[in-house]
């Protein structure tokens, strides 16, 4: 809990990438969506078992109130999809499961566009900003099933948590080229560097955007 301030790391990545795009005057129409929420106890707080209606109209059963970030991100992805973008990218400090799988240095990417994902991996190698592709494995989607809503906000078991979180987000995306980065945005103290905020996948994505739209 002492480093929960890093949960704004996804938003920080998006702001940094937007600043790079605007500074370089890339030939794009850029739309930046940053959903933000206060995760605190209160009389109006939601509870496990509640059913919420998303912007897309899908109902979501709350299985874990600590998975609040994906709820607001789902609405942001729906909003962005309404604009019919050519490319939709999200960064989110979404799951601890991604860090268990890949550690602190590798940025997991989930994408429905093989070409874009491959380009990000190549750019990551060039920029020494390693990215690793993770599967949108449909076989795990049943873990999000709910008997009282269209979907649950977490899966019914502890395994594959980063994958099932990405599958949850995918339900709210309507774009042929979408990439989701489940980043930790933090690096422990080592090799003479202090602990603190870290960019994961940012330079890799910037390399692709600069090459494509520069």
Per-residue pLDDT, 190: 75
Per-residue pLDDT, 78: 98
Assigned CATH class of 49-213: alpha beta
Confidence of residue 177 (pLDDT cuts 50, 70, 90): very high
Q: What is the pTM of this model?
A: 0.94
Confidence of residue 1 (pLDDT cuts 50, 70, 90): low
Q: Report the relative pairing of strands 107-111 and 131-133 from DSSP bridges.
A: parallel
Q: Report the relative pairing of strands 178-182 and 107-111 from DSSP bridges.
A: antiparallel
Q: Compute the distance between CA of residue 78 and CA of residue 56 in angstroms, rounded to an integer.
A: 6
Q: Compute the distance between CA of residue 163 and CA of residue 157 in angstroms, rounded to an integer.
A: 12
Residue spans per domain, the chain: 49-213
Tens digit of each residue's pLDDT (9 = 90 or more) over 74-107? 999 999 999 999 999 999 999 999 999 999 889 9
Tens digit of each residue's pLDDT (9 = 90 or more) over 145-176? 999 999 999 999 999 999 999 999 999 999 99
Q: Compute the distance between CA of residue 198 and CA of residue 55 in angstroms, rounded to an integer.
A: 32
Mean pLDDT, the chain, rounded, equals 94
Q: Compute the distance between CA of residue 168 and CA of residue 17 in angstroms, rounded to an integer.
A: 24
| Strand arrangement of the beta sheet that strand 131-133 belongs to | 88-92, 178-182, 107-111, 131-133
């Amino acid at each position: 809990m002492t480093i929960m301030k890093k949960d704004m790391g996804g938003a920080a990545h998006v702001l940094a990438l937007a600043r790079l795009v605007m500074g370089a005057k890339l030939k794009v129409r850029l739309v930046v969506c940053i959903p933000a929420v206060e995760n605190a106890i209160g009389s109006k707080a939601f509870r496990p078992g509640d059913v919420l209606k998303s912007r897309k109209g899908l109902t979501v059963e709350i299985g874990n109130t600590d998975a609040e970030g994906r709820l607001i991100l789902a609405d942001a992805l729906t909003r962005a999809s309404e604009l019919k973008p050519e490319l939709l990218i999200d960064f989110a400090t979404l799951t601890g499961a991604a860090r268990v799988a890949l550690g602190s240095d590798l940025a997991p990417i989930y994408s429905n566009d093989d070409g874009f994902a491959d380009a990000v991996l190549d750019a990551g190698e060039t920029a020494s900003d390693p990215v690793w592709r993770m599967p949108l494995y449909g076989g795990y989607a049943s873990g999000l099933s709910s008997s009282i809503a269209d979907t649950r906000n977490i899966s019914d078991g502890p395994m594959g948590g980063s994958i099932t979180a990405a599958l949850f987000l995918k339900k709210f995306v309507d774009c042929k080229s979408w990439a989701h980065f489940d980043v930790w945005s933090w690096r422990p103290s080592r090799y003479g560097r202090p602990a603190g905020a870290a960019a994961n996948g940012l330079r890799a994505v910037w390399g692709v955007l600069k090459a494509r739209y520069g």
